[in-house]
Amino acid sequence: MTNDATTPEAGRIPNKGKLAKDLNEVIRYTLWSVFKLKDVLPEDRAGYADEVQELFDQLAAKDVTIRGTYDVSGLRADADLMIWWHAETADQLQEAYNLFRRTRLGRALEPVWSNMALHRPAEFNRSHIPAFLADETPRNYVSVYPFVRSYDWYLLPDEDRRRMLADHGKMARGYPDVRANTVASFSLGDYEWLLAFEADEL
């Protein structure tokens, strides 16, 4: 029998504040890499899959996590596969990327788009932690979009920016099944931020 006074509310994460504080001390790089097939694969592809799985297992032992692999064929005319990975350092991700490119599957693919980012505490809401960093279960789908804020944004007073971001966050409350991953990418590529929204339905 539980004591109602100590039972956490449904959907509430116990000790969320402490968890966020601890996770905000973590530096974690993440990378989304998109490829297209340049060669027709043979009908028997078991060896290809086995080789990639073996590599992914080796990477996991080095703290390189494959968050997901995604079939993006048809969503873009120039892409077939996306890999989402994260690690403690950018060097680890670059090594993982290059090792994948050396597999038989990797040699049959051409890079289309790849961008790296890292977790930094949110500007005004330090409790906002990316789902991948909180070790939430990966969802079936992910929508990744990069963006750059306008110069005008940085000319606004802090209180205006805080209010606008809070209003923006409130709009997502009706979609608790969509998990957000907002990470900084300034100077790591062409964008200031990368956002990845995960959900079990597209």
Check residue 6 and give its pLDDT: 38
Distance (Å, whole) CA 138 – CA 130:
12
112, 46, 103, 43: which is closest to 81 by C-alpha? 112
What SS3 class is residue 154?
helix
Q: Say which of 48, 141, 145, 175 is annotated catalytic.
A: 145
pLDDT 10s per residue in the chain (202 long)? 334 433 334 344 554 555 777 777 778 999 999 999 998 888 888 899 999 999 999 999 999 999 999 999 999 899 999 999 999 999 999 999 999 999 999 999 999 999 999 987 766 556 678 999 988 999 999 999 998 888 888 888 888 888 888 887 777 788 889 998 999 999 899 999 999 999 999 9
Residue 113: Cβ within 10 Å count? 16
Which residue carries 């009706």 as its tokens? Answer: 174
Distance (Å, whole) CA 159 – CA 142:
32
- The residue extents of the domains of the chain are 16-199
Check residue 140 and give its pLDDT: 97
Check residue 7 and give its pLDDT: 34
Distance (Å, whole) CA 152 – CA 202:
33
Per the annotation, the verdict on 191 as an active-site residue is: no
Check residue 18 and give its pLDDT: 56
- State in words which class domain 16-199 has: alpha beta
Check residue 169 and give its pLDDT: 74
